[in-house]
Structure 1
Amino acid sequence: MSSIYEEVRIALHGIWTRRWIALAIAWAVCMAGWLVVAMVPNSYESKARIFVQIDDVLADQIGIGGDRKRDIERVRQTLTSSVNLEKVIRATRLGDKVTDDKQMQAAVESLGKDVKVVSQQDNLFEITGFAGGGGRNDGENAKLAQDIVQKMIDIFREENLAGGRGEMTDTLAFMDQQLASRKKDLEAAELKRTEFEAKNVGFIPGIGSISTKLEAARGQLRDVESNLLAAQSALASINGQLSGTPQTIAVAGPAGGAKGALAQAQSDLGSMRARGLTDSHPDVIAVKGQIAGLQKAAAGEGGAGGTLNPAYSSLISIKADREASIVALQSRKGSLQAEIAQLSAQQFSEPTVAAEAARISRDYDVYKEQYDKLLRDREQLRLRGQVETERDAVKFEVIDPPTMPTGPSAPDRPLLLMLVLVVGVGAGGAGAFALAQLKSAYSTTGQLERSTGLPVLGGVSEAVTRVARAERARRLKWFVGGLAGLFVVLFVLLGVEMLKRGMVA
């Protein structure tokens, strides 16, 4: 704790030894700050409260009373519309230096920031107008703030009471114009969507899309492959039966030709051997000779001999049907594979087309929603206009007229002047302290000992003569006078500010 106390003493001693520098810095900062504060123009505000009765029993009864919050917002926007602000500028001193449209636009934007309309209750509004600068004196700015608020009230009364019906007509005409514009946009969006869907009918997700077609083609390919395997198995079975079935059937007897006779002779030979006759039996020898002769004759007949086998013909017919089915299935399989390859190649472009289709559809939905909302609002306004034609639904009354400012609302010059003094004194002290830190002198023996690391045996006190003491007292009076001069200047500036406010009032 003692070290902190010693450091504070050292800091204060360093500032005190450089007090004239601190005083000079304080005077420089204060004079610059007071000059800046003096150059800030005063801003005056005027306030008024008006009562706008928006309710109407008939409108509420037939269901067109509207939303109260929306009606209040409409009143607020009407008061601060660009058209009304332009009228205010032309009717007040704000329009004295406005010569072209660009200057008028800038003036309207500036006035829009200087005017506030606040809804205090459902039907009670507070209008606040500000005026300042512009090369005008304080009295002129105070009167201008009052004129701005008063002119806004007058314009609102004229347009909403005397010209309410004309405004409703203009509003309906504007709504019709907006409806026609939205209708064109909606028709263009609908045409664009129709053309895009017709051009990319196979790429848009849903029924008939590439993904759906690709999945269906793959399913058909699986069915064809299954049927092809079954047909190939059936064909193999038919071929097996054909290999074991003769094309013709040999008929015994003359009707069968040489082969028939050969078959009959072979049958007789078998029958003889079955009875136990040997090869040396005359009948067996005779039949063998006959068989040898018939074999030569049968060989001469070739394959045309005998009767066509009906079973073989039936199997041939079935085989032809199976082969035709296999060919058809193979052809269908190749076609499906080609189609799947083509659809797979086209599938890469489907996400892009789908995203574009979604964007076009989203734009169409937005236009349609805007068009439907405008159409409903137009019909509601039309019915409201018919009601207002027969009945006066708006009642207007000024509760508090525009006030005449008695003093500037901004800036708070007395507070700024005192803050400048505090900042100036603080800046002087900070400057003196910074200079003290840059010097290599030591204020106490403890500080010297800590800095050098060497023991300090003692210190020599300063001997001050009477003349030196008198000189120091005189300089102290000058310093106190210089410091007091800052407060004197502050009091003078505050007095001038109060005097100006009294002159405005």
Structure 2
Amino acid sequence: MNGLYDELRLALHSVWTRRWLVLGVAWGICILGWLAIASIPNRYDSRARLLVDINQILPDDTTAGFGGRQRIDQIRETLTSARNLEKVAVTTGLLPVGAGERERAGAVGMLQKSIKIVPQQDNIFEITSSVAVGSLSDADNAKLASGVLDSLITVFRDDQLRGGRMNAREGLKFLDSQIADREKALREVEGRRAAFEAQNIGLIPAGAGSPAQRVEAARAELGQIDTQLVAAQAALAATNGQLASTPATINVPGLGATGGGVARQQLAGAQAELSAMRARGLTDAHPDVVALKSQIASLKAQADREGSGGSAGNAQNPAYGSLAAMRAERQATVSALSARKAQLTADIARITSQQIQNPGIAAEYDRINGEYTALKAQYDKLLGQREQVRLRGDVQTETDAIRVELLDPPTKPTSPAAPNRPLFLTGVLLAGLAGGIGVAFGLAQVRTSYATAGKLERASGLPVIGSITEVVTPERHVERRKRLMWLAGGAGALVGLYALLLVAEFVQRGMVA
């Protein structure tokens, strides 16, 4: 413990003997450090909170691609766009009138670094402006920090008020030009198709669509006809089976032979049904009429063979008559479906034959039709988009589609946010004192001098007989006191300069407030 105490005393003695070196180094470090701190401009921060609300008036399908979330993200990006920041730089005086491109880019870059946008919610943003221009005073920097936010919010509001209407007008103008181009191209294709049809009138089947489309439609209908025909033929076969097992007449006890023949009765019923069909407006070409007329001819032949008399006690079977009428109806259905099937088969064969005989004409016609279909789809789509843009433009013109509200106005900074000069000044003072002490102690370790006899004895390994104490004369004592006063004055001047710098810093802050 005594050894450690002795070492501490020796270290303090070595530093004390070089006290002027400590003071000089401390002055040098403090002066350089305080000059470096003085060259750092004070940074002043101003904050504001902004609410950007999207009024979702139009339905979602009309505002596709322009949803609230996407629109807010777009606003967040355009708030600090280069165009807006350039306007802010001109408004706040950072960019003089007539500045070159390099100066404009520098001012915009400085503002982009100094402005930060932090989203607190989906539509609420906190905007911070940090200004530290070395050529300006603290008061000017503080004023500029809040002025930048004021100008930025004003420019943003103006852009939102004008931008929506301008975008709608530009969008309508662009869509109108595109619609006019598509309409012109559509008319040209229509003319080419009409001319092509006129030149190849005997080679192109009539009807809507290309030959391939008509063949496909005919095949689809033919499949349905086949299904219906199979069902109709099965129903007709079932009716024929029931009719074959059903007697045409039945024996009624006590019935005389005055009723006439069965064929004559069926003939009368068929003729009455034919009259009813004609009364409904059916022509002789109708399949039901044709079938019934065929049945009437057959019944006439049977009536002629029966003669004027009939079997005594026999009467017409009502079930047989119903089945016969049902069979006639189903025969007519089968005949009509068969005729339609034959017609579709003939159409498919004719179109296919024309395509085989004239493949170039069919391919060219298909190409023209495909081009027309594509242009028509584009034209209809552009018309729909134009209506959507027009609706959005009307909404933005007649209502506040985007509402920009200032929740918290830009703050007026009264003290710099950085740097913390009092802390830095104190740190430089302590660093200067520590540097001076360190230099003095290091120099004492380098030089080969010994403060005590014991230290010399340990270093040399030889016994030290004695030491001579310094004799201080009165004149020497006066000289030492004078030098101590000079040392105290130098140290006091250093501390006084530090205190003066602190006072100047607080006075400067008070002037900003």
TM-score (norm 2): 0.52
User: Is this contact kept in 1: 2:95–2:103, CA < 8 A?
Assistant: no
C-alpha distance after superposition, 1:174-224 (max 9, x if no partner): 99xxxxxxxxxxxxxxxxxxxxxxxxxxxxxxxxxxxxxxxxxxxxxxxxx
Mapped partners of 1:471, 1:379: distance in 2: 101
Please state if 1:436 is matched with 2:444.
Answer: yes
Q: Structure 1's 64 and 441: CA in aligned 2 closer, same or farther, altered over 3 A?
A: same
What residue number does 2:491 align with? 483
Please state if 1:136 is matched with 2:144.
Answer: no
Partner-residue secondary structure (3-state), 2:94: helix
Please state if 1:468 is matched with 2:476.
Answer: yes
User: What is the 5 A alignment of 1:61-210?
Assistant: 71-96=71-96, 99-133=99-133, 135-167=135-167
CA apart distance, 1:44: 2.2
What residue number does 1:29 align with? 29
CA apart distance, 1:133: 2.5
Mapped partners of 2:442, 2:98: distance in 1: 53
Amino acid of the structure 2 residue aligned with 1:477: M
User: Is this contact kept in 2: 1:59–1:384, CA < 8 A?
Assistant: no
Mapped partners of 1:13, 1:171: distance in 2: 87
Q: Structure 1's 38 and 97: CA in aligned 2 closer, same or farther, altered over 3 A?
A: farther
Partner-residue secondary structure (3-state), 1:464: coil
C-alpha distance after superposition, 1:148-186 (max 9, x if no partner): 1101000111112343232466689999xxxxxxxxxxx
User: Is this contact kept in 2: 1:98–1:104, CA < 8 A?
Assistant: no
C-alpha distance after superposition, 1:73-119 (max 9, x if no partner): 43322211111111111212101276211221122111111111111
What residue number does 1:455 align with? 463
User: What is the 5 A alignment of 1:17-416?
Assistant: 17-54=17-54, 56=56, 71-96=71-96, 99-133=99-133, 135-167=135-167, 392-416=400-424
Q: Structure 1's 63 and 77: CA in aligned 2 closer, same or farther, altered over 3 A?
A: closer
User: Is this contact kept in 1: 2:44–2:417, CA < 8 A?
Assistant: yes
User: Is this contact kept in 2: 1:64–1:384, CA < 8 A?
Assistant: no
C-alpha distance after superposition, 1:447-479 (max 9, x if no partner): 212221223344333333444334333322322
Sequence identity percentage: 46
Q: Structure 1's 450 and 405: CA in aligned 2 closer, same or farther, altered over 3 A?
A: same
User: Is this contact kept in 1: 2:27–2:494, CA < 8 A?
Assistant: yes
Q: Structure 1's 62 and 379: CA in aligned 2 closer, same or farther, altered over 3 A?
A: closer
Partner-residue secondary structure (3-state), 1:95: coil
Mapped partners of 2:92, 2:174: distance in 1: 29
CA apart distance, 1:415: 1.9
Partner-residue secondary structure (3-state), 2:497: helix
Mapped partners of 1:39, 1:388: distance in 2: 51
User: Is this contact kept in 2: 1:92–1:144, CA < 8 A?
Assistant: yes
Q: Structure 1's 473 and 166: CA in aligned 2 closer, same or farther, altered over 3 A?
A: same
Q: Structure 1's 486 and 393: CA in aligned 2 closer, same or farther, altered over 3 A?
A: same
Aligned residues between the structures: 305
Runs of at least 5 residues in structure 2 that lack an aligned partner in the other structure: 176-385
CA apart distance, 1:23: 0.2
Q: Structure 1's 166 and 480: CA in aligned 2 closer, same or farther, altered over 3 A?
A: same
Mapped partners of 2:438, 2:145: distance in 1: 43
Amino acid of the structure 1 residue aligned with 2:480: R
Q: Structure 1's 401 and 75: CA in aligned 2 closer, same or farther, altered over 3 A?
A: same
What residue number does 2:316 align with? none
Runs of at least 5 residues in structure 1 that lack an aligned partner in the other structure: 176-377
User: Is this contact kept in 2: 1:34–1:417, CA < 8 A?
Assistant: yes
TM-score (norm 1): 0.53
